[in-house]
Amino acid sequence: MSDIEKFKIKRLVKELSSYKGNGTSMISIVVPTGYQISLISKMLTNELGTASNIKSRVNRQSVMSAITSAQSKLKRYSKTPPNGLVVYCGDTIKDGKPKKLNIDFEPTKPLLQKVYMCDDHFHTEYLDPLLEDSDKFGFVIIDGNGINIYTVKGTDTERVAKYDVDLTSKTRRGGQSALRFSRLRDEEKANFLRKATELCKKYFLGNSNLPLVKGIIVAGKAHFKNKLVNSPLLDPRLKKVILKVIEVGYGGKNGFEQALDASKEVLADVKLIEEKNIMSKFMNEIALETGKYCYGVKNVCECLEETVISDLIVYEDLDLFRVTAYNKETDTEDVLFMNTEEMEKTTMDIRDSVEYVDYISEHYGDYGCNLHIVTDRSAIANQIISGFGGLCGILRWNRDTTTYTEPDDDDDDDNFDFGDYEVFEGDFI
């Protein structure tokens, strides 16, 4: 799951958690992968009959309305989607205003637990697995006894390769044969390192042009780990994603457990490092005065419309809304960008509003740019948020702001200014 998809789920969970119900009129349904929708529909029919016995008229009507809405959502699906199905329906209250909410979507990865809850709030805790880190990392544990390759994805670990080696020990005696033994040992070590680089390429690169893992941790005893990292035989594409080289006291599984404990902070900071890199790139464009940058709502929106932005940086809690408002003077609907305070003070008739970060996460592809939604966990992020309003972009080229005035086609040619040129009269030969 991409960072943008994870962000959307995070925003959805936040939005759903802000709603409260009038009684137990909010229904949460999770249809797990492979489960029959017809069984859920049958269960809702039974629940509808039970709900008719609720004593409170208001609560009874709200619950029956929510169940009916959920049944209508399920009728849209002939079978359960590959990753399951999530449905939220109910009569809700937000900011003191009643609102009927009906949401259905296929999760970004399989959900295995069947859920049906009728409560005074939506149960979003069942979406937590969608927010877990789904990036895959590679671990290489190498020493004089062999190499073990592991992959880690969330809480799942798997050993994908194991290669043992029996290197000739150092020779203390042997006379004239000592040099020959030393050369043979060096050849064995070189062959082992060559085999190690081949295994890394096979399991971390495969037939792809890009690494199959987010990052690689290399760990081991003695000098083999450093020789592997610095080997010219190791693919340069894999060298770029090596996050850390760790000294461990064991090889094999024990060495992997030791390396895993020592690299937790590194793995947790991968997303933070990506944020720092894109924001440092933006700051470098400013420092070098390349002109390939923009910031501020007006400039960023103009550059987006011109499709000149290659990387758009948006603060995840940006106080900005995309507003559709009715302009009485021009009798038109205008699209404006306002913060919360401006929306409260405006006298315009606001027809629709959506948080800008939600809007751009859905439509950034229409503007041909890469979207980076950043947090405030680093100093450089706080500098961009406070100094540039949390909205800025890196341009593909230096945007030319010069304006040109097109000549009027109806201008009389006789008004042409000849300046200092000499005008000849008569016939031309």
For residue 401, being part of any structural domain is answered with no
Question: Span 279-306, mean pLDDT?
Answer: 92
Domain of 165, in residue numbers? 136-170+179-268
For residue 163, being part of any structural domain is answered with yes
Amino acid at residue number 198: E
- Residue 288 shares a structural domain with residue 261: no
Domain with 347 in it: what CATH number? 3.30.1330.30
Greater confidence, 257 or 167?
A: 257
Q: Are strands 97-105 and 146-153 parallel, antiparallel or unpaired?
A: unpaired
For residue 419, being part of any structural domain is answered with no
Domain with 61 in it: what CATH number? 3.30.960.10
DSSP assignment string, 25-76: EEEEEEE-TT--HHHHHHHHHHHHHHHTT-S-HHHHHHHHHHHHHHHHHHTT
Position 423 scores a pLDDT of: 43
The answer to whether 321 and 355 are in contact (CB under 8 A) is yes
Rounded to the nearest integer, the mean pLDDT of the chain is 84
Q: What is the pLDDT of residues 233-270, one digit of tens each?
A: 999 999 999 999 999 988 888 999 899 888 877 876 67
pLDDT of 413 > 70? The answer is: no
Position 155 scores a pLDDT of: 63
Whole-number percent of the chain with pLDDT over 70: 89
For residue 410, being part of any structural domain is answered with no
Q: What is the pLDDT of residues 387-404, one digit of tens each?
A: 899 999 999 998 764 444
Residue 175, burial from CB neighbour count under 10 angstroms (0-12, 13-18, 19+): exposed
Ranked by mean pLDDT, the top range of 26-40, 153-167, 173-187, 316-330 is 26-40
- Residue 213 shares a structural domain with residue 262: yes
Position 420 scores a pLDDT of: 47
Greater confidence, 32 or 270?
A: 32
- Residue 225 shares a structural domain with residue 307: no
For residue 307, being part of any structural domain is answered with yes
- Residue 147 shares a structural domain with residue 241: yes
Position 84 scores a pLDDT of: 92
| Helix residue ranges, H only, 205-263 | 224-230, 236-239, 252-262
Greater confidence, 29 or 209?
A: 29
Last residue of a domain, one of 110, 131, 152: 131
For residue 411, being part of any structural domain is answered with no
- Residue 160 shares a structural domain with residue 253: yes
Position 424 scores a pLDDT of: 43
- Residue 282 shares a structural domain with residue 391: yes
Whole-number percent of the chain with pLDDT over 90: 41
Determine the longest span between alpha carbons in the chain, in angstroms: 112
Greater confidence, 277 or 314?
A: 314
- Residue 188 shares a structural domain with residue 279: no
- Residue 264 shares a structural domain with residue 277: no
- Residue 263 shares a structural domain with residue 140: yes
The answer to whether 25 and 91 are in contact (CB under 8 A) is yes
- Residue 156 shares a structural domain with residue 264: yes
For residue 356, being part of any structural domain is answered with yes
- Residue 140 shares a structural domain with residue 264: yes
Question: Span 212-222, mean pLDDT?
Answer: 90
Q: What is the pLDDT of residues 342-370, one digit of tens each?
A: 888 887 888 888 999 999 998 999 999 99
- Residue 64 shares a structural domain with residue 99: yes
Total-model pTM: 0.64
Number of domains in the chain: 3
Domain with 193 in it: what CATH number? 3.30.420.60
